[in-house]
Structure 1
Amino acid sequence: MPTPLPAAALADLAHDPHSYAATGPLRVQHLRLVLAVDFAQRSLTGTATWLLAEPPTRAAELVLDTRDLAIEGAWLGESAAGPAADYTLAPADAVLGQALRIAVPAGARAVCLAYRTSPAAAAVQWLAPAQTAGTHPFLFTQSQVILARTWLPCQDSPGIRFTYEAMVEIVGDERGQLLALMSAENPQATAPDGRYHFRMAQPIPAYLMALAVGRLDFIPLGERTGIYAEPATLPKAAYEFADLDQMVAAAESLYGPYRWERYDLLVLPASFPFGGMENPRLTFVTPTILAGDRSLTSLVAHELAHSWSGNLVTNATWDDFWLNEGFTVYFERRIMEQLYGADYAAMLQVLGEADLQHTLAELGTDSPATHLHLHLAGRDPDDGLNDIAYEKGCLLLLTLEKLVGRPRLDAFIKEYFTRFSFQSMDTAHFVAYLRQALLTPALEAQLDLPAWIDGPGLPANAPVARSARFAAVDAALAQLAAGTAPAHLLPPTAAWSSQEWEHFLRGLPPTLPAEALAALDAAFGFTASGNAEILAAWFPLALRAGYAPADAALADFLHHVGRRKFLVPLYRALLAAPGGQARAQKIYRQARPNYHSVATSTLDALVP
């Protein structure tokens, strides 16, 4: 293999258009955070002390990103005992927030800030006991994409890394009853005094800062893995994720050692807006993957894979988001193949490609939004979080695998993660590294790299997945179309996985009448399913047909599940149904308090 690019080649990474801090001359290196958690006021209050990577040789500005934060003071040095620092807050931008500019004299090594969050901080969701699985309040943060700045004054760019230590104190009536956790070394039991200490020794970008506080218990699954969840949820979660240790071992066998010491999961309340979030050492996951049969755990494999692609080597800006997600989808499916076989991984790939085709149809195959390398300046970078980065990025790696062979691609990826550990990577530097370390001119011509990176839609050489297990599903669909009664299909479908049922529902004609859905429901119990993926595929069919027996289950789902992946298509289907707008508005008014701002920022514009 040719000599890889030196790490110094990454020193001139692209400017981040979504961070004021990226334009400043000074960089942070370490954070000391002290926070009080006040459920009564729905506020985080405390100090953030930033140690600089290098003290300036002359007077300069430390620029931090903030949004809706009350800055109560700034001091030079490592505490509020130091001399006051001059600072200004720039006018607010609706997406980027405000630049906090702090005057730093020559030789200064640290700046201490006192601040308070707003009760409406976009990253933080404060849940009442009724919104949880227990009898206590709960809070969690979601910092990706650029929401860390709403609960922490920081350099909120994925290209800027820092280590941190924190002390979090729970005040008020909940002191001594709740457990606090962060993306760091974590406690495993509740502290009677409500005080918790954290340390993250590996440098991370701000979007991987995470905090959760709730009535939580812990179960170990192995020497370095375990699960946190509310007591009512924990036994089910422990069963669902029993293979977690094997997942970590499978990942390491593919692409090298796990570099974050522990890998634990936190199962959040149902309002969590994503399937999972790869916070280092503590992946946040949705309870919607607790299907009871371990059929949806590929999501955990995905978040685990981020411990290499994303957390270890990070997209330098959100224009380069595919470098996080394309690698992670490819890695996720390799883990699932190693654990459960090629046929299982093929089902995941087929479903992923179907999702990609749906996204391409929505965006338009000629749209610049379908490029891997995005240009999101002037827009909310959350707009780039769709299946293009995930599935088109994965298909690029599958195309490389076909061209160079799996062993060579594996060696390349393993070296990539090793060579650029704890660094950021942008698209231009990755392409240069790929050309130097893997591609010959002949291979690059076959790959047609510009069509993948900066071209719309899918290149002509994109592979198409096939699944032998889905062939049996397609045969069942053909029997239904020929007039076979659904009940006659019960024996061959008894052992189907969640993925096979999802493919089945997607393959049904979208205009089936209500009586046909009633026969399917009687045979297979879709409306009463406890599997969120199956319900999310079933409800649009029921809405289009006016199948009333599913109405109550749909309303219950929308009231209790906050995962944006499900909410957006279901509200769209509801709005398109006869009389659906009034129903959607009524449900949304009632359910909106249960949703995180990541979901409501999309749904507020969707549901008039």
Structure 2
Amino acid sequence: MAPVDPHSYTDSTHPFTTHISLSLYLDFATSTIHGSALLSLSSPHSGPLHLDTRSLTISSVLDPTTLLPLPFSLSPTPNPILGSLLSVSLSSHSSVLILFSTSPSSSALQWLSPSQTSSLVHPFVYTQCQSIHARSIFPCHDTPAARVRFAALLNIPRALSAVMAASHVSRRDPNPGESNLSDALWCAPDRVVEQFAMEQPIPPYLFAFAVGEIGFRDLGPRTRVYAEGGKKVLDAAEREFAGVEEMVRVGERLFGPYDWERFDLLVLPPSFPYGGMENPRMVFLTPTVIKGDATGAQVVAHELAHSWTGNLITNKTNEDFWLNEGFTTYAERRIVEVVQGEERAALNMGIGWRGLNRMMERFKDNMEFTKLKPNMADVDPDDVYSEVPYEKGFQFLWRIERQIGRPAFDEFLKTYIATFKFQSIDTETFLDFLKTNLPGIENQVDLRTWVEGTGIPPDAMEPISAIYTKIRSLSLDFKLGKMPREDEVADWHGQEWELYLENLPDSVDPLQIAALDARYRLAESRDWEVKVAFLQVAVSSGCKEYFGEVERTLKQVGRMKYLRPLYTALVQGSAREEEKMLARRIFMEARDSYHPIAQGVVESILSKHS
């Protein structure tokens, strides 16, 4: 066996899957999917074919032409990171048909009861497949090295609707014999089929759908926002993301043609574990990015930038994750600079710089994960997910831009995207391309230190701007006991407050914290970035009066960007047993409202500090 990826059973000597036809029957009563997957291979293959699965029941594996069974085995003891190896014996086959069912504990799926939705009437389900969770929905080569086209039939209750990161083909009644599943099940009169197709090859982690009571508003000729939360959420989302069509045009001017036809957005329930997920044609978003002042569109700018850096060109393995996120963070800030101005982009960079420095503290006992290309064998990507690939990757590209100048770097970037579009590459391929297209760059920038070195390289650069310098100065004054005056913060938005709070020490006088909040009501902020940044400082400073607000926050949202720092602040270091017990109780009561990925992250935090 010659693995292509430390996080996949995929064998590099076997042909990759190039197309998957899925028929999925969504059973809300049991929180399971019954499905069939027709996998087409790049070439005929004889011998074992290795596929990734997690918590799947495989009912049969068939020759798609004859429907005769094919021998297969499923490893009896799942690997805690990889899941179970499905090995199918082929004899000059170029395709294989697999019938399967998911588990209610599928790590990619969150099933929400009606009481957990905004409507309180209908259930809801959505997927989150990054980094290695597609294997818990269907058997596949679950590695970003494999790019796949999809066709999908989603059989759902007639009262619901489905959206997918793909082109919508039709909504129609089920047809007998189209699914390889029982016609009695498939063709029930209260069911409907939503049909989709993804014609561009994508890595499996970008497979995405959602089903529930979903409305929408058009934002432009190729942009639309969908939402689960009804008219109130749609109205707010429409205002927040009104400029998305212009963002797409800016992206095209900077990085080349937009190759995905549409750029639609889906605002998910508050349990969604990320700020956004860049699924092509259908970006998934947390409702916490709706801030009321259009600054939430910066998350959209990041997911849009992935349309070129990440979706068009993909990291070959999770060890090369910076190729996705470092490039995308750079591209996001270029878009923000055009659309919202240089000062706003500088604030974005400043928050990122603080985040990168925090990661040095987080990984101080295992600096391997401060490398751009870490060794991730036997490491769950979710456990070490951090800002390092985003911000250190950004700093690396910004360092190259400063060396050669922006015009030259822009030309390099466009050439890079055009050369590798619809491909998955590794760090070594990028470095070779860099040295070929920018001769002598290795003598001007220490590439080895940037890629292989731990920590922050000495030629990384803290951003410089008038507003950034002013906020840093005011944070320093607070450390000395001086609160910012109202006239100094009169024009601040969420990002300014976030940066200010990020620059405060972890522990300050509780009376100062209470006085700051009494004047500016930060614990009640509608901007979740501000609220959580303030609560993190308050908990670290021992302000017990804010524990109630911390509990309410942890029970309202499931975004890991908020869960991780708040749970960590409650249990880390010199935290009292009272605070640790509070964290454990909150998690026990809120656990079922979190996505499975978020559940695992919080369990890891509580276990580490038990």
Q: TM-score, normalised by structure 2?
A: 0.92
C-alpha deviation, 1:548, in angstroms? 4.1
Q: Residue by residue, what CA displacement relative to the aligned partner does 1:160-204 show, whole Å, maximum 9, x if unpaired?
A: 11111110011xxxx222111121013799998531000000001
Moved more, 311-320 or 23-32: 23-32
Inter-CA distance 485–380: structure 2 relative to 1 (3 Å threshold): closer
Contact map agreement 2:475 2:501 (CA 8 A) in 1? no
- Code of the residue aligned with 1:237 in structure 2: it is A
Superimposed CA distance per residue, residues 421-446 of structure 1 (whole angstroms, 9 cap, x where no aligned partner):
11111111111111101232xx3222
Which one of 515, 519, 538 corresponds to residue 519 of structure 1? 515
Counterpart CA distance in 2 for 1:20 and 1:522 is 55
Q: Which residue of 2 aligns with 1:459?
A: 457
8 A contact 2:61–2:71 mirrored in 1: yes
Deviates most, 467-476 or 314-323: 467-476
How far apart are residue 472 of structure 1 and its match? 2.9
The Cα shift of 1:581 comes to 1.0
Deviation for aligned residue 1:587: 0.8
Task: Summarize deviations over 1:389-444 as a string: whole Å, max 9, x none.
Answer: 1111111100100111111111111111111111111111111111101232xx32
Report the TM-score when normalising by structure 1: 0.92
Q: Does 1:140 align with 2:138?
A: no
Q: For residues 302 and 264 of structure 1, do their structure 2 counterparts lie closer, same or farther at Cα, with a shift above 3 Å needed?
A: same
Q: Does the 8 A contact of 2:171 with 2:192 survive in 1? A: no
Aligned to 2:602: 603
Name the SS of the counterpart of 2:523 in structure 1.
coil
How do residues 71-220 of structure 1 correspond to structure 2 at under 5 angstroms? 71-77=58-64, 82-91=67-76, 92-106=78-92, 108-135=93-120, 136-170=122-156, 175-186=157-168, 193-220=191-218
For 1:493, give the aligned amino acid. Answer: V
Is 1:32 aligned to 2:21, yes or no? yes
User: What's the secondary structure of 1:194's corresponding residue?
Assistant: strand
**Could you list the per-position Cα deviations for residues 220-275 of structure 1 after superposition, in whole angstroms to 9, with x for gaps in the alignment?**
10010011102142111111111111111111110101100100111111111111
Q: Does 1:223 align with 2:221?
A: yes
Cα shift at 1:141: 1.0
In 2: Cα distance, 1:531 partner to 1:95 partner:
35
Aligned to 2:187: none
Check the 8 A contact 1:87/1:101 in 2, yes or no.
yes
CA contact (8 A) 1:48 1:114 kept: yes
* 1:104–1:510 Cα change, 3 Å: closer
C-alpha change, 1:84 and 1:113, in structure 2 (3 Å) is same
**Residue aligning to 1:65:** 52
Aligned residues with identical type, % of pairs: 39
Give the residue type in structure 2 aligned to 1:225. T
Task: Spell out, residue by residue over 1:434-486, the C-alpha distance to the aligned partner (whole angstroms, 9 max, x if none).
Answer: 1101232xx32220110011111122222221131123334544665666565
Unmatched segments (≥5 aa) in structure 1:
1-12
Distance 1:296 1:188, change over 3 A: farther
Q: Deviations over 1:295-354 (max 9, x none)?
A: 232111111111111110111111111111110000000000011111111111111011
Structure 2, unpaired ranges of 5+: 174-189
What amino acid is the match of 2:558? G
CA contact (8 A) 1:75 1:111 kept: yes
Which of 564, 567, 570 is 1:571 aligned to? 567
SS at match of 1:186: strand
Are the structure 2 counterparts of residues 365 and 73 from structure 1 closer, same or farther at C-alpha, using a change threshold of 3 Å?
closer
Query: Over aligned residues, Cα RMSD in angstroms?
Result: 2.0
Q: Are 2:552 and 1:556 aligned?
A: yes
Q: Structure 2 vs 1, CA of residues 391 and 545 (structure 1 numbering), >3 Å: closer, same or farther?
A: closer
Aligned to 2:182: none
C-alpha contact (below 8 Å) 1:26/1:63 kept by paired residues: no
Task: Kindly report which structure 2 residues correspond to 1:11-410, keeping only aligned pairs within 5 A, or say none.
Answer: 15-56=4-45, 59-77=46-64, 82-91=67-76, 92-106=78-92, 108-135=93-120, 136-170=122-156, 175-186=157-168, 193-230=191-228, 231=230, 232-364=232-364, 367-410=367-410
Give the whole-Å Cα distance in 1 for the aligned partners of 2:284 and 2:424.
Answer: 23
Give yes or no for the alignment of 1:532 onto 2:489.
Answer: no
Partner AA of 1:67 in structure 2: R
CA contact (8 A) 1:88 1:100 kept: yes
Classify 1:545/1:481 alpha carbon distance in 2 versus 1 (closer, same or farther; 3 Å). closer
Work out the CA distance in 2 between the residues paired with 1:339 and 1:365. Answer: 40
Q: Which position in structure 1 is the counterpart of 2:176?
A: none
Corresponding residue number in structure 2 for 1:8: none
Query: Following the alignment from structure 1 to structure 2, what is the Cα–Cα distance between the partners of residues 383 and 600?
Result: 11
Judged with a 3 Å threshold, the aligned counterparts in structure 2 of structure 1 residues 518 and 383 are, in CA distance, closer, same or farther, namely closer
User: Does the CA-based 8 Å contact 1:320-1:373 persist in structure 2?
Assistant: yes
Pairing of 1:430-509 with structure 2 (within 5 A): 430-440=430-440, 443-477=441-475, 480=478, 489-509=485-505
